[in-house]
A = this chain, B = another copy of it.
Amino acid sequence: MHTYASALVALSLSVSTTAVMAQTTDHADIALKSDTIAWDFVEGITTEVGPRQAGTEAEARGRAWAVRWLNANGFTNVADEAFMMDTWVRGTETAEIIAPFPQPFHVTALGTSAATPAGGITAEVVEFKTFDALRAAPAGSLKGKIAYISHSMTPTQNGSQYGFAGPARWVGASVAASKGAVASVIKSIGTDMHRNPHTGGTTFADGVSPIPAGALSLPDAANLERMFARAKGKPVTMKLVLTPRDLGQTRSGNVVGEIVGRDPSLPPVLLACHIDSWDLGTGAMDDGAGCGIISAAARHASMANQPLRTIRVLFAGAEETGLWGSKAYAAAHADEKIGVGLESDFGADRIWQIETNFGASNPELVKKLAAAVARFGVASSAATATGGADINISREQGGAIIDLQQDGTRYFDLHHTPDDTLDKIDPVQLRQNVAVWTAVVQVLANETSPIMGAAQPAR
């Protein structure tokens, strides 16, 4: 017994030493402590390129920069896969209250906004406290008016209030136009209080002629609402100048690169982000960080050993203006089976939860992933992953999807604003992202069985 007990102790020490050693040489842990790859990407692209609006020469410079960077950072099969898209660009944008309390406001046009005449539109502003109130307005009741849509958006960790407040931006202008409005302005879809309005796309329903559609900064929206209260029923008149224009079809592209696996016949692990940004900021949180995170994870996960499966990064073009890149990639690669798709496009703050869409078909892999990320403070959730905007291909294939949920509490302070700049990225949280992604990619890229489980059902 003594000998056996000693042997057990020795074995236990040995196992534990091995476990400790394995842990200290795990590349996810190395990434947490010392990754510089993600920061190098996001610092580089925000400094050397800056804003990268979809379909413009700035996005093209961004793609060219990313191609160079991927080639210089150990990726192969790097390419810029072209597609064509409809491109809209900003012009002059000013707003001012003419009466009863003249003063200038900060406004920005929403993507696909129509243009005002160069001299602007001057009209009475009609206030709607919510998007539902606008929808309830009688037909024709906004004839000759500018509709103003307010709402209230609270910061949330999971970003869920974007869905709650977002419709005012996504379709508010269309609803206002359908009731006769000559223009619309919304309170920016955001949670900050700075004079930096939030842009973003808006969509006009079929049969509705686009109108000029702007967003006021939140302090300006608050000021406008005080004006309504103080005007005591007198008309509040705004002069709005928005002169965006359509460029027609221009070239965009998806930048791809690979770490080729030992068995390239296995479906690859697809890591996605988007390379374009809105024009107002420098695309740091949205989504330079995401491209930096996935690229860094691909590298860390393959530093010790060539992975079994190919790891492919997809820097989608033209996400912001309608998922052009994601759609083009899904169409161009429809016949190539993807093993699993993941996207990073929610800033650079800490990951706190992992979700998959294969909990039922492959519970063992879910357990393995949960164990791999637990030490970084990431909980496993039973919620079903639905994937981000840039992995249409995985959704279309009914394939495996994983969502790594980031803390979105301050994301909508910055989203689509001039303030989306490098200084907003916390290097410590950025490295936590890289560590979690590395841990996940290490598991996925070395998974021998089908990721959706043996059945791998089509959806």
Q: Which residues of A contact B (CB under 8 A)?
A: 43-44, 46-51, 58, 61, 100-104, 106, 193-196, 218-219, 222-223, 226-227, 230, 281-282, 417-419, 421-424
| Assembled-state Cα–Cα distance A230/B44 (Å) | 9
A47 partner, pick from B47, B226, B422, beta carbons under 8 A = B226
Contact A193 B423 (CB under 8 A): yes
User: A212 → chain B, closest Cβ, in Å?
Assistant: 22
Q: With A193-B424, A194-B196, A196-B196 in contact, is A101–B47 under 8 Å at CB?
A: yes
Given contacts A44-B230, A47-B230, 18 further A-B contacts (CB under 8 A): A46-B223, A47-B223, A47-B226, A47-B227, A50-B101, A50-B102, A50-B223, A61-B102, A106-B418, A193-B423, A193-B424, A194-B194, A219-B419, A219-B421, A222-B421, A222-B422, A222-B423, A223-B282
**Known: A43-B226, A103-B49, A419-B219. Contact between A195 and B196, CB under 8 A?**
yes
Residues of B within 8 A of A227 (CB): 47-48
Interface-central residue, A281, A417, A423, by most chain B CB under 10 Å: A423
Interchain residue pairs with CB less than 8 A apart (21): A43-B226, A44-B230, A46-B223, A48-B227, A48-B230, A50-B102, A50-B103, A50-B223, A51-B104, A58-B103, A106-B418, A193-B421, A193-B424, A194-B194, A194-B196, A194-B419, A195-B417, A196-B196, A219-B422, A222-B421, A223-B421
| CB-nearest residue of chain B to A217 | B418
Q: How many whole Å from A227's CB to the nearest CB in chain B? A: 6
Q: For residue A41, give the distance in angstroms from its CB to the closest CB of chain B.
A: 13
Bound-complex Cα distance A281 to B58 (A)? 31
Determine the chain B residues whose CB is within 8 A of the CB of A102 once the complex forms.
50, 61
Give the residues in chain B near A195, CB-CB below 8 Å: 196, 281, 417-419, 421
Chain B residues within an 8 Å CB radius of A106? 418
Cα–Cα, bound, A197→B100 (Å) = 29
A219 proximity list for chain B (CB < 8 A): 419, 421-423
A282 contacts which chain B residues (CB < 8 A)? Answer: 103, 223
